[in-house]
């Protein structure tokens, strides 16, 4: 029983500090509630008090929200696929595969995302034509794939080694054991950190506005550039980002709680 208990208490701490609410914090005026409902109240209040420019802004930017989501969701899907293989590569016993995965992680983590974006769009753009949206998604996926790889790696290593041994002892091959025994357990463990990455990616997706992809931030810029209402526009943009990230961090913490409750 000891081994099973140990498995439950393993926590993966790979995170770059998304706002995950403290679950102990149940009070009515938790930091999360103040921020979330505060932001929503302001988003409602501003347009009511002064419809110009706030209502106009709120009419202008939602297209961008959609694009932000598109970039985020498509990137996270590719990042998950890249991350899974990178994680498997990082724990591989085959030296060359292990080395490739490790170098990939090291290189990508050492280059700022913004530089990667420029690199794929402008630098590689000299040789091949990359559409803006494509460049954005490729850069984000490659970048986050490296971080996801580390999460998968941590998740795989967190499974007690007796699990692999029991599977091998039954006659399973290493890859069968990975698929049937290790990865299913890894998955429930990495779900919360993956949620965190999703939130981080949602925020980082604002970088793609540099490539003139019309995401939320870009739409704000377009509005502000024509009306010179910088303060009002960026206030709304910031509030919308805040509501989105707080909403998703709540989802992640609920999911975490659920997983822990029926964790066996």
Q: Which of 176, 225, 228, 254 binds another protein (CB under 8 A)?
A: 176
Enter the tokens of residue 240. Answer: 């919308």
Do 251 and 73 contact (CB within 8 A), yes or no? no
Q: Quickly tell me which residue has 């938790």 as its tokens.
A: 30
Number of residues that bind another protein (CB under 8 A): 26
Q: Of 6 and 59, which CB lies nearer to another protein in the complex structure?
A: 6
User: How much of the chain is in helix, strand and coil states, percent to nearest 5?
Assistant: 80, 0, 20
Q: Of 45 and 170, which CB lies nearer to another protein in the complex structure?
A: 170
Q: Of 112 and 162, which CB lies nearer to another protein in the complex structure?
A: 162
172 binds another protein (CB under 8 A): yes
Please report how close the Cβ of residue 163 comes to another protein at its closest, in angstroms.
6
98 binds another protein (CB under 8 A): no
160 binds another protein (CB under 8 A): yes
162 binds another protein (CB under 8 A): yes
Do 89 and 97 contact (CB within 8 A), yes or no? yes
Rounded Cα gap, residues 145 and 260, in angstroms: 26
Do 185 and 47 contact (CB within 8 A), yes or no? no
Enter the tokens of residue 243. Answer: 């509501």
| Residues that bind another protein in the complex, under the rule CB under 8 A | 1-4, 7-8, 160, 162-163, 165-173, 176, 180-181, 184-185, 188, 263-264
């Amino acid at each position: 029983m000891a081994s099973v208990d140990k498995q439950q208490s393993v926590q993966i701490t790979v995170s770059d500090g998304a706002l995950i609410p403290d679950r102990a914090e149940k009070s009515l005026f938790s930091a999360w509630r103040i921020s979330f409902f505060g932001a929503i109240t302001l988003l409602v209040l501003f347009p009511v008090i002064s419809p110009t420019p706030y209502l106009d802004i709120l009419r202008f930017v939602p297209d961008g929200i959609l694009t932000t989501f598109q970039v985020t969701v498509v990137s996270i899907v590719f990042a998950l696929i890249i991350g899974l293989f990178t994680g498997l590569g990082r724990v591989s016993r085959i030296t060359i595969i292990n080395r490739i995965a490790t170098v990939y992680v090291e290189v990508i983590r050492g280059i700022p995302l913004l530089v990667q974006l420029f690199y794929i769009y402008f630098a590689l753009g000299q040789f091949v034509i990359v559409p803006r949206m494509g460049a954005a998604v490729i850069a984000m996926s490659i970048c986050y794939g490296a971080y996801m790889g580390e999460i998968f790696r941590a998740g795989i290593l967190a499974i007690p080694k007796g699990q692999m041994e029991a599977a091998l002892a039954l006659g399973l091959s290493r890859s069968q054991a990975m698929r049937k025994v290790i990865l299913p357990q890894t998955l429930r463990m990495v779900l919360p950190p993956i949620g965190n990455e999703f939130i981080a990616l949602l925020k980082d997706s604002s970088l793609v506005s540099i490539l003139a992809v019309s995401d939320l931030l870009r739409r704000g810029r377009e509005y502000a550039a024509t009306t010179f209402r910088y303060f009002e526009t960026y206030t709304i943009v910031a509030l919308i980002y805040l509501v989105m990230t707080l909403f998703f961090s709540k989802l992640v913490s609920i999911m975490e709680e659920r997983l822990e409750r029926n964790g066996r």
